[in-house]
Structure 1
Amino acid sequence: MTSTSPGPTTPIEAAPPVVVGWPSVLRLPHCTRLLGGTLLGRIPLGMAPVVLLLAVREQGGSYTLGAALAGAFGLAVAAGQPLLGRLADRIGQTIPLVAGALLSAIAFTVIAVTGTGNLPAVLTAAVVAGVSAPPLEASLRALWTHVVPSPSYLRAAYSLDSGSQELVYVAGPLLATAVTAVAGSTAALLATGLLGLMGAAAVATSVPSRTWRPTARSGSGVLGALGSAGLRLLLLALIAVGASLGALNVAALAAAERSGATWLSGALPAALSIGALIGSALYASRPWQASPGTQLVTTGAGFTASWLPLCLDMGPYTSLALAVIPGMFFGPLLTSAYQCLDLLARPGMVTESFGWLVSAFGIGTALGTAAAGPGNGSWAVPALAAAVALPLLQVVRRQLDQSRPSRTTS
């Protein structure tokens, strides 16, 4: 595992594997503030695509324009996170977090003030808002090793992190819709920028973030964190995992149309998010003696297999119940990926590495959504995407086993 000074006072290597629950993590100094600030600052990532679409429609624009702006924002986020993560690994977290949030908030304000009628201006602002979105997710994961005292706490912290992030993509669209309905899209755009700024400020002004300092980098060059072959393989696997989630949205809409239950299009993704929260909690409730690489493959295999019952298309209520199961494996899979990425990251590049993880999921989601269209929303598309990830995860495990890292995260 990579680390940066100052580290925890108790050596992580010396702690025995024990069960640590989420409440124990939240009771540690700084943890509640770091997690809460990160979630608050990331809500705009769930709000922005919906807000942009609603703003375009409110001002008489087309769905095509709204979707293009939302897509441009998403791609810009995927591009910006590793770049800002690399900057944090060089100069610390304060400037990338605060300056990024401020620039993103200004861009949302520009869209709110000028409206969506001027396509070049609004498209530029959407890209700026996305590429400058503060790297809160990557920064938090770079900080966990400095605020937890043992590997068991670290695993619980990663589990809490992966489970709670589902709230961003549930609360974000709901909040965007509610604010737009009550106060209009202009207020919703302003609120989107403000929430990002508030969350980034909460994290950036915390003691762990302010005192976090980069370590010496292992090599340099254009590739940066991608110079790690193991990391590249893990990211490719996570692109495939993200593709299964992107395909879910289209498959859910198709299932809703086939069954005549329009509510299913939103309920199925929500069911998966609930499953991820449950799965992450269950994962943290027991000690795992297996290595992080073995956990990665095991949870990946479960994630792949859990899509197969949905392919039977057994009606809306059965499908709704079955959609919880991939989520229950997705949460632990993501937690295992965090642990493996921490082991695979090159020294001095941990924040950038986690930024690439965010990008991998963004790219995968977009590819999955695009692939599910020609597939007519078949459940086979997310199942196939998950299956593509599995052999890649097995190669990652072999690389980790061969490297024999000196520090474990069991």
Structure 2
Amino acid sequence: MSYRDVVSRRVLTWALVAVGARMPVAMAPLALVFLVRERPGGYSLGAALAAAYVIGEIVGAPVLGMRLDPARARPHLAAGLVAGAAGFAGLGALSGAPGPVLAAFAFLAGAGPAAAPGGLRTLLTSLVPGHAATQALSLESMLTFGVWAVSPAAVTGLALGVDARLPLLLQAVLMASSVVGLWFLPAGWAADGRDGQEERGASRLRVLARAWPVYVTGAASLSLLALAELVLPALLEQRGIGVGWAGPLLTAMSVASAAGAFVYGLRSWPGRLSTRSLVLMAGMSVAVTLVALIPAAPGMAAALALAGLLQSGAMLTRNLSLREVLPPHALAAGYSVMYAAVGAGYAATGSLAGALLPHAAPSTAILAGVALTLLLTSVGWWGETRAGRSAPDAGAVLPLGAAGGPEGAPVRGGRDPERRL
């Protein structure tokens, strides 16, 4: 297995488009807080705007993702990205507008491009040979974690050093530039030959519903990220450590995640995807638990780095599981539903931690979030195991974890189990 199979001019173009589409998403929550923090009740308003943005993502991803036409995805993706750029531009240009107006722009900025991550991921895997899908998804994860590592520093520097509106305007420009880049890529990707009308409506909903265990586990994986991001400053205060260390610690976690994605794509790994996911999620839970219990900053940094290293593998197994359980025509919609699910998991764990913090120590809030994550992981693993016991009907989509799928158990003799992706 090698990354050479994914190196091409079209993949490089895709990477530039993906950065333009995803950097604004990574910058959004912090940029919204900085935009209004000088107003009366600014931090509360900033939190409300960030919530409106996330709600827009959760609503827009499944609704718009299900409408993507595999053969003609470009106009749909472009329209969503233009809407997102308009939302960010409105926030930056009308920063003094009443809160409800800003919330509407934030919702538009979140909902408009919400189908783009799933569509771009599906497009990427169509640009590489089938056996290189794992490396392509690993490359995507490295790019994503790199963007998330750079974004907080970019937002903070621009908002505090120049103007609080500048990050939002830059986000609008970046997202608009990604629209231009789409015309240098294929208009869509190959489906499985089904009629476009047949792919819509109740039949597509039934197909997507088969992957519910993957969505549950995906929500669990980002729940731990919510704990790390939202409770870490309070935990540092509890330990008597400067809150300013939160940024470097989270950057270290993102860098470790990028490294984990690279390592995951270097070789094949034993066991079914559901088993790998369970092991990785258990390891992440242990690492985040150590973050809550270790009193010194170096130990917390090591635990966060370990959590990031394992998180990228867990996310990749979820994306590969969707490729296993969903037919080609439903992949983009499935990725979009996953996007909404992980956003809901992030919001649920963040809300739980926020409700507990006034009444319990930050370390206790983290442990409660870990317990919720383990519960979601167990439910997802149970669902995958239960689906794997059912033999697929002739011509039906294979159940999660089935050995006949593209990511089945390793074949005898140590050959690459992912070669058929």
Partner residue of 1:188 out of 167, 172, 186: 167
Q: Which residue of 1 aligns with 2:189?
A: 212
Partner residue of 1:294 out of 275, 284, 305: 275
Aligned residue type for 2:406: T
Q: Which residue of 1 aligns with 2:382?
A: 395
Aligned residue type for 2:285: T
* Mapped partners of 1:279, 1:211: distance in 2: 30
Q: Is the 8 A contact 1:42 1:199 kept in 2?
A: no
Q: Alignment partner of 2:129: what SS?
A: coil
1:285 aligns with 2:266: yes
1:345 aligns with 2:345: no
TM-score by length of 2: 0.84
Q: Which residue of 2 aligns with 1:156?
A: 135
Partner residue of 1:332 out of 295, 313, 316: 313
Q: Is the 8 A contact 1:247 1:381 kept in 2?
A: no
Aligned residue type for 2:189: W
Deviates more, 1:288-297 or 1:140-149: 288-297
Q: Which residue of 2 aligns with 1:309?
A: 290
Q: Return the structure number with greater relative CO, CA threshold 8 A, min gap 6.
A: 1
Aligned residue type for 1:332: G
Q: Which residue of 2 aligns with 1:320?
A: 301
CA-atom RMSD in angstroms: 2.5
Q: Is the 8 A contact 1:225 1:353 kept in 2?
A: no
TM-score by length of 1: 0.86
Instruction: Give, in angstroms, the shift of residue 290 of structure 1.
Output: 2.9
Instruction: Give, in angstroms, the shift of residue 278 of structure 1.
Output: 1.8
Partner residue of 2:2 out of 20, 33, 50: 20
Instruction: Give, in angstroms, the shift of residue 72 of structure 1.
Output: 0.4
Partner residue of 1:266 out of 231, 234, 247: 247
Instruction: Give, in angstroms, the shift of residue 55 of structure 1.
Output: 1.6
Q: Which residue of 2 aligns with 1:252?
A: 232
Instruction: Give, in angstroms, the shift of residue 46 of structure 1.
Output: 1.5
Instruction: Give, in angstroms, the shift of residue 128 of structure 1.
Output: 1.3
Q: Which residue of 2 aligns with 1:114?
A: 94
Instruction: Give, in angstroms, the shift of residue 107 of structure 1.
Output: 2.2
* Mapped partners of 2:6, 2:139: distance in 1: 9
Matched residues, number:
387
In structure 2, relative to structure 1, the CA distance for the partners of 1:91 and 1:159 (3 Å cut) is closer
* Mapped partners of 2:296, 2:203: distance in 1: 47
| Post-superposition CA distance 1:121-155 (Å, at most 9, x none) | 2221111121102533211221233222242x111
Q: Which residue of 2 aligns with 1:356?
A: 337
Q: Which residue of 2 aligns with 1:8?
A: none
Q: Alignment partner of 2:2: what SS?
A: coil
Q: Is the 8 A contact 1:252 1:266 kept in 2?
A: no
| Post-superposition CA distance 1:300-356 (Å, at most 9, x none) | 232233333334223222111111111111111111111101122255221111011
Q: Which residue of 2 aligns with 1:241?
A: 221
Instruction: Show structure 2 runs of 5+ residues with no match.
Output: 391-398, 408-417
* Mapped partners of 1:226, 1:323: distance in 2: 38
In structure 2, relative to structure 1, the CA distance for the partners of 1:99 and 1:229 (3 Å cut) is closer
Q: Alignment partner of 1:87: what SS?
A: coil
Q: Is the 8 A contact 2:2 2:135 kept in 1?
A: yes
Instruction: Give, in angstroms, the shift of residue 187 of structure 1.
Output: 2.8
* Mapped partners of 2:89, 2:38: distance in 1: 17
Q: Which residue of 2 aligns with 1:170?
A: 149
Instruction: Give, in angstroms, the shift of residue 227 of structure 1.
Output: 4.3
Aligned residue type for 2:368: V
* Mapped partners of 1:225, 1:64: distance in 2: 37
1:140 aligns with 2:115: no
In structure 2, relative to structure 1, the CA distance for the partners of 1:109 and 1:238 (3 Å cut) is same
In structure 2, relative to structure 1, the CA distance for the partners of 1:69 and 1:294 (3 Å cut) is same
Aligned residue type for 1:391: S
Instruction: Give, in angstroms, the shift of residue 401 of structure 1.
Output: 6.4
Over the matched positions of the two proteins, sequence identity in percent amounts to 21
* Mapped partners of 1:266, 1:396: distance in 2: 37
Aligned residue type for 2:185: V
* Mapped partners of 1:401, 1:298: distance in 2: 20
